């Protein structure tokens, strides 16, 4: 995890979810790139965050795209967030004894006919799922993210309040982490749109 660095956080709001990642890609202490997003859209209502070993981040992004496409064709419908979380879990557990070095975070809304219910999940590197009702943190700044999120998050935040909460959580956490930072990207998923904003942060 400390080879490339990077952090992701997801939070539940009222009829919305947010997921955010930093933009740094490093080789240990040396920063290689400052535009490396660790969040990837899966459907119009699901985004996955993949902090960890960059080579595995890219491999898994492609593998999830392939598996979700196969699911969509076979089932003739879009995948639901909870189903996708289990897909992530089983994909990682396939490599139980030679794991991918990523700790995914999943954020999504259920389909509108089921009420657009917020969904967040996190797994460890071998796919052990956790389904909290408040927030998920992951990556090299996870302890700092825990401290920030635990003190800033509150239930039933609207999209704009949730954006502010997740942004402050991420920015202040990564500013105390040498392996994360260099700006951030934040997505807020609402029933009718996904709001994406790129944040400028400390460049040191």
Partner 1 sequence: MSPISQPTSVAFNPYAENGGTILAIAGLDFAVVAGDTRQSEGYSIQTRYAPKVFRLTDKATLAVNGFAADGNIFVKTVKQRLEWYRHAHAKDMPLRAIARLIQTMLYAKRFFPYYVYNILGGIEEDGSGAVYSFDPVGSYEREACRAAGAASSLIQPFLDNQIYFKNQVAVSGTSHPKHLPILDVLSLVTDSFTSATERHIEVGDGLEIYVIVASGRSLTELSSIAGIEEVTGSASATDRVFVIRRELKKD
Residues that bind partner 1 in the complex, under the rule CB under 8 A: 143-144, 146-148, 150-152, 167-168, 171-173, 175-176, 201
**CA proximity to 122, closest of 108, 141, 107, 100:** 107
> For residues 11 and 171, which CB has a smaller minimum distance to partner 1 in the complex?
171
> For residues 176 and 193, which CB has a smaller minimum distance to partner 1 in the complex?
176
Tokens of 179: 């392996």
Report, in Å, the least distance between residue 186 CB and partner 1.
13
Report, in Å, the least distance between residue 126 CB and partner 1.
22
Cβ atoms within 10 A of the Cβ of 109, count?
24
Q: How far apart are CA 153 and CA 168, in angstroms?
A: 10
> For residues 39 and 140, which CB has a smaller minimum distance to partner 1 in the complex?
140
Report, in Å, the least distance between residue 127 CB and partner 1.
23
Give me the sign of the Cα torsion angle 199, 193, 12, 76.
negative
199 three-class SS: strand
Report, in Å, the least distance between residue 150 CB and partner 1.
4
> For residues 82 and 175, which CB has a smaller minimum distance to partner 1 in the complex?
175
What is the phi/psi pair of residue 170, to 5°? -70, -50
């Amino acid at each position: 995890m400390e080879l490339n660095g990077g952090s992701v956080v997801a939070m539940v709001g009222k009829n919305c979810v947010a997921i955010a990642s930093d933009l740094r890609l490093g080789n240990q202490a040396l920063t290689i790139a400052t535009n490396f997003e660790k969040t990837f859209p899966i459907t119009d209502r699901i985004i996955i965050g993949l902090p960890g070993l960059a080579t595995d981040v890219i491999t898994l992004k492609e593998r999830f795209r392939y598996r979700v496409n196969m699911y969509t064709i076979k089932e003739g419908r879009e995948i639901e967030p909870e189903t996708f979380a289990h897909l992530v879990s089983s994909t990682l557990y396939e490599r139980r004894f030679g794991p991918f070095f990523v700790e995914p975070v999943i954020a999504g809304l259920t389909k509108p006919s089921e009420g657009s219910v917020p969904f967040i999940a996190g797994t460890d590197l071998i796919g052990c799922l956790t389904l909290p009702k408040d927030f998920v943190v992951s990556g090299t700044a996870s302890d700092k993210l825990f401290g920030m999120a635990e003190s800033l998050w509150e239930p039933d935040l609207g999209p704009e309040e949730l954006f502010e909460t997740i942004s402050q959580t991420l920015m202040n956490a990564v500013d105390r982490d040498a392996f994360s930072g260099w700006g951030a990207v934040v997505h807020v998923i609402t029933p009718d749109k996904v709001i994406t904003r790129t944040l400028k942060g400390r460049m040191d």
